[in-house]
Structure 1
Amino acid sequence: MTEDAAPDLRASDADRERVAEILRDALAEGRLDMEEFEERLDATYRARTYGELAPITRDLPAARGAAVPAVSLTKDPEAAGSWPDRIVGGDDAGTSTWAVAVMSGFQRKGRWTAPRRFNCFAFWGGGEIDLREANFADREVVINAVAIMGGIDVVVPPGVEVVVRGIGIMGGFDHREEGVPGEPGAPRVIVTGFAFWGGVGVQRKLPRADKQRLREERRRQKLERKAAGHQLDGPRRDRPGLNLHGLHGLPDRHAEEHGEHGRGRGRDDDR
C-alpha cells in the first residue's frame, strides 16, 4: 500500500500505532528531538487518511520505500476483518425497523441489528440512531428520517460509506461525511428523508471500546514522554559544582559554620 495508491483511504488505529512506533525508534536513535517527536506524534493521532500519515515518517529510515504503513485491507482486524461478521443477512433481520418521537425522544444504540430500511419520525423531539456497535441486515441499509421542528442524529463508525439524499426546507441534512471511501466489505449507509424546520445530522465516531483503547494509548504515550524528558534533564541536575545539599537546609560543614556565625551575629545585635 502506497500513498499514490490510496491517499484518501481511511487509516485505522493500527496504522497510526505503526507510525508512532517508527517515531519512538527515531527518538531513541537521536534522529528526532523531543519537540519534533511530540509534534509528529500529535499529527499521527490526528491523521484520518493514509495521505495524512505518509509525510510524518517520509524522512525516517524505517519509512523508506513505504510512504504509508503496509496493511492488509482484507485481514487487518482494525479494518475490514470484522465487517463480514457484522452483516448478518436474512429476510427477517432487524432488531427494530421504525421509531417515533413526538415531543419526546428515541434511541437505537448498542448491540442491535439495523434493518435494510429503518424509518424514523421526530416532531418537536429528537432521536439518535447509533450504528457503531450495530450489525447490519445487508451491505446497504437505508435510514429514512423525517424531522419536523425536531432533530435526528445518525452516528456511523469509521470505514462505513455514507450517502445523504435527504431534502430540507428551512432545515437541512448534514453532508459532511459524504465522499469518504468505505473499507472493503463494510456496509453502505444511505440517509434520506425530509426535514422541515429541523435537521438530520450525520456523525462519524469511534466505537466506545476503540475510544477507551485510544485514551489508554495516549496516556501511555504521555507517561513515556515524561520519562524521556526526565532522562534528558538528568545530566543537568548532576552538573559538577552545584551543591544541591546547600540549597536545602545547608547540611554540610561550611553551611553549618555559616549558620553558627549567622546566629552569633544575631545574638550580638540583640545585645
Structure 2
Amino acid sequence: MDLMDINDYYLRKDEKPLDRIVNNGGFCGIFRTICCIGDSLSSGEFETIAPDGKHSYYDIYEQSWGQYIARMTGSTVYNFSKGGMTAKKYCSGFADENAFWSPMKAAQAYIIALGVNDMWEEGVKAGCIDDTADDNTFAGFYGTIIQRLKRISPDAKLFFVTQPREESDSDYQIKNKEAQRKILYGFAGKFTNSYVLDLYKYAPVYDKKFKENFFFNGHMNAAGYRLTADIIASYIDYIIRSSPEDFTASGLIGAGIDFGVQSGN
C-alpha cells in the first residue's frame, strides 16, 4: 500500500526556519485574516528615477508580499502599512487616521515589520521592552502597538520581523538591527502568542547579486516582493510545525467561541 508520507508535514530533525520553502503558503494559510503592519517593504513600494535625478516612490499594494501571501493562501490580508512608516508614526496618528485600531479590522494573525526607518528617526533610540510610548523609543512605540492589538484581538498570533542583513550595512545599521532584534525577542518572551521571524539570522544577505535579481533602484521589484512572501509564509509554516500545540485552536480566533480545554486525544 502506497501511503502518503505524512512526515513531509512534520518538523524534520535539526530543521532550521527557512530550510523548507513553501510556495503555496503552507500552514500560514490556517489564518483566514492576516494584517501586515510595516513600511515601504510591506507596501510593495517601487522607486523610479527621472532623467533629472528626481526620485519618486509609489506604494503598489497589489505587489506587496502581504498580497502575494493572500493570493497563495486565499486568506484576506490587510496592508496596514505605508512607505516611510515607523513605530512612532504608526502610534502617533497613522493608525487612528485609518481606523486601524477598529475591532472591525481585527485579524487572526499580525505580521509586524517595522524598524528600517525607525533607526534614522531623530531623537528616537532603540530603548528596552519595559518602555512606553512616553519614553519616545522604538521599543516603547512597538510595545504600544502590541498592547493595542492584544486588546483588539486577544487570541491573535503575532509575528515580529527582524530586519535582514545587507552587504552594504554600516556599523551603525548593524548595531541598530541587532538592538531591534534583541527587543523583538524580548517582546516574544513577554507577550503570549508572539513569535519572531528572524530574517536577520536566517534570510539571505542582500548582496550585489541579490539586488541585481530582486531590486529596482532602492526598493524591491515584483520578484523581490514575491520572494519575500515565500520567506515570510515559509517561516510561519515552520513555526506552526515547530509548535503545533500552540495553533490547534487557531481556527477559532475571533469567532467569539470559548476555546475550552483540549482533550488528550
The TM-score range, normalised by the shorter chain, is under 0.3
Larger Rg belongs to: 1
Determine which structure has greater relative contact order: mean sequence separation of CA pairs < 8 Å that are 6+ residues apart, divided by chain length.
Answer: 2
Structure-1-length-normalised TM-score: 0.26
Structure having the larger proportion of residues in helix: 2
TM-score where L is the length of structure 2: 0.27
